[in-house]
Copies of this chain bind each other. A is one copy, B any other.
Amino acid sequence: MGRRSLLLLLLAFLTPGAATAVPPALRALSSLHLSTSFRSRPAVAMKYSIHYIQQKVDHFGFHTDKTFKQRYLIADKHWKEDGGSILFYTGNEGDIIWFCNNTGFMWDVAEELKAMLVFAEHRYYGESLPFGANSFKDSRHLNFLTTEQALADFATLIKYLKRTIPGARNQPVIALGGSYGGMLAAWFRMKYPHLVVGALASSAPIWQFENMVPCGVFMKIVTTDFRKSGPNCSESIRRSWDAISRLTEKGTGLHWLSEALHLCTPLTESQDVQHLKDWISETWVNLAMVDYPYESNFLQPLPAWPIKVVCQYLKNPNVSDTWLLQNIFQALNVYYNYSGQARCLNISETATSSLGALGWSYQTCTEMVMPFCSNGIDDMFEPHSWNFKEFSDDCFKQWGVKPRPSWIPTMYGGKNISSHTNIIFSNGEIDPWSGGGVTKDITDTLLAIVIPEGAHHLDLRANNAFDPVTVLLARSLEVRHMKQWIKDFYASLGKMH
């Protein structure tokens, strides 16, 4: 059970992220002139206006004609009617303002692309709730929370903007997104190529579905990150699970552990132990996602290269159980208390509340069924096989729905996507989600960019003085392709006239 909650939450933390070394695709480009957007310069002020559009609750049925207000943000400081473009962020599972603030890349390139920035909130997240406070009440109210409906919202919004903003009609639109939003950006280009000339899908694990990648790849990458970030680091974590089990089998173990880990709510029952392990696992997973090269505050306020900092406390696996767990506490404390303000650690939370955990939990129980597993050998976690039956039963208990694991591959093509064009899949090699991502070019126009030292969608984050050169090159390459898409669009427009 607790295990499922971990897996359910995993993706709910995907969004604008970090990176560093020289990617294969970029090595040839080391002498490339860097786009002007990425030279050192002061942070861009993020000024946007907030808007709402009435959307059909159900784009695919006519029994209800009900509508709801979808929120979106517009920033048009650098937009030019003449030769400009529209960068459209396909919002993912959280508050759109939070995503907007964590997608500095779009702000950094706006001037160079003469771009209007649009950030569209995903239905059932942030303020865009189809049934207000009742939106998560039951499966009837949640029925319209699907990727297809979300893409249809985006399509409707783009048509609306083109119709209502003078000068926007004949401009190229590019979809951008990170993580789940990256999947949406890619899928949007696949399904609505008439509305967007291309897509930048950053850290989008479009293959983390049924039978496409080994279910253990995710945890293996997390483990590699820890193994490489300090001597014995992953081994210390691997040993910690049995240490927890041994300690908590004793009468006073729960009490001792609660004290040692400074838990806000003491462990009282043996079933709390699994919950604790899940929470710790999720912490390591999150750290792997946000292992950025500079101080940041995405899921939590963190130092630069946080896993390296964590690993300083986990150098010696050959110590007693109590010592090992005191070290684990120090490590956890890096993640949960970098500010030094926390008085205790709360095992019911691992990240920002800007993400919509409820909605995402439902999505993983319906369409977004991503198999995960660990074996304790190739990774540092306790062995857990992927048990679809158990997963499905839990989903039915929680939401009254049954997951359809083969639907996403049927709908979006699985690995057979080569007939599409103009999609950039960027991935950071240290990001565990890269395991389910596209990391090799598929065709000349379905491109993979790999950023060796990159964590979760580092390329979508704002330019930073500590950015490794490879992410600068990645961004530069991304801009180069976007410019080409824009140029091609205007060229074909010219031909039509």
Query: Which residues of A are at the interface with B, using a C-beta cutoff of 8 A?
Result: 56, 59-63, 65, 139-140, 142-144, 146, 148-149, 152, 155-156, 159, 191-195, 366-367, 401-402, 404, 406-407, 410-411, 413-414, 416-421, 492
In the assembled complex, the Cα of A421 lies from the Cα of B443 at a distance in Å of 15
In the assembled complex, the Cα of A144 lies from the Cα of B62 at a distance in Å of 9
Contact indicator B194/A146 (Cβ below 8 Å):
no
Smallest CB–CB gap between A59 and chain B, Å? Answer: 7
Contact indicator A402/B65 (Cβ below 8 Å):
yes
In the assembled complex, the Cα of A143 lies from the Cα of B61 at a distance in Å of 5
Contact indicator B194/A61 (Cβ below 8 Å):
no
Smallest CB–CB gap between A209 and chain B, Å? Answer: 14
Smallest CB–CB gap between A419 and chain B, Å? Answer: 4
Contact indicator A155/B410 (Cβ below 8 Å):
yes
Q: Which residues of B contact A191 (CB under 8 A)?
A: 191
Q: Which of B156, B410, B492 contacts A410 (CB 8 A)?
A: B156
Q: Which residues of B contact A193 (CB under 8 A)?
A: 413, 419-420
Q: Which residue, of A140, A159, A411, A413, has the highest number of chain B Cβ atoms within 10 A?
A: A411
Contact indicator B401/A63 (Cβ below 8 Å):
yes
Contact indicator B194/A159 (Cβ below 8 Å):
no
Q: Which residues of B contact A402 (CB under 8 A)?
A: 62, 65
Contact indicator A407/B194 (Cβ below 8 Å):
no
Besides the contacts A61-B144, A193-B420, what 19 more A-B pairs have beta carbons closer than 8 Å?
A56-B404, A59-B407, A61-B143, A62-B139, A62-B142, A62-B143, A62-B367, A62-B404, A63-B142, A63-B401, A148-B148, A152-B411, A155-B410, A191-B191, A193-B413, A193-B419, A194-B413, A194-B416, A194-B417
Contact indicator B406/A159 (Cβ below 8 Å):
yes
In the assembled complex, the Cα of A142 lies from the Cα of B61 at a distance in Å of 9
Contact indicator B149/A60 (Cβ below 8 Å):
yes
In the assembled complex, the Cα of A404 lies from the Cα of B159 at a distance in Å of 14
Q: Determine the residue in chain B with the shortest Cβ distance to A156.
A: B410
In the assembled complex, the Cα of A383 lies from the Cα of B411 at a distance in Å of 45
Q: Which residues of B contact A406 (CB under 8 A)?
A: 159
Q: Determine the residue in chain B with the shortest Cβ distance to A363.
A: B62
In the assembled complex, the Cα of A402 lies from the Cα of B414 at a distance in Å of 35
Q: Which residues of B contact A413 (CB under 8 A)?
A: 192-195
Q: Which of B59, B63, B148, B366 contacts A143 (CB 8 A)?
A: B63
Contact indicator B60/A155 (Cβ below 8 Å):
no
Q: Determine the residue in chain B with the shortest Cβ distance to A418.
A: B492
Q: Determine the residue in chain B with the shortest Cβ distance to A419.
A: B193
Contact indicator B419/A62 (Cβ below 8 Å):
no
Contact indicator B60/A146 (Cβ below 8 Å):
yes
Q: Which residue, of A56, A140, A144, A407, has the highest number of chain B Cβ atoms within 10 A?
A: A407
Contact indicator A148/B411 (Cβ below 8 Å):
no
Given known pairs A191-B191, A416-B194, A421-B419, the reply for A140 and B63 (CB within 8 Å) is yes
Smallest CB–CB gap between A362 and chain B, Å? Answer: 9
In the assembled complex, the Cα of A402 lies from the Cα of B419 at a distance in Å of 36
Q: Which residues of B contact A59 (CB under 8 A)?
A: 407
Q: Which residues of B contact A414 (CB under 8 A)?
A: 194
Contact indicator B419/A194 (Cβ below 8 Å):
yes
Would you give 11 A-B contacts (Cβ < 8 Å), ordered by A? Answer: A60-B149, A61-B143, A61-B146, A62-B401, A62-B402, A62-B404, A63-B140, A159-B406, A159-B410, A194-B414, A194-B419
Q: Which of B148, B159, B492 contacts A60 (CB 8 A)?
A: B148
In the assembled complex, the Cα of A414 lies from the Cα of B195 at a distance in Å of 10
Smallest CB–CB gap between A86 and chain B, Å? Answer: 15
In the assembled complex, the Cα of A418 lies from the Cα of B195 at a distance in Å of 12
Q: Which residues of B contact A404 (CB under 8 A)?
A: 56, 62
Q: Which residues of B contact A410 (CB under 8 A)?
A: 152, 155-156, 159
In the assembled complex, the Cα of A159 lies from the Cα of B412 at a distance in Å of 13
Smallest CB–CB gap between A389 and chain B, Å? Answer: 16
Given known pairs A60-B148, A62-B402, A401-B63, the reply for A155 and B411 (CB within 8 Å) is yes
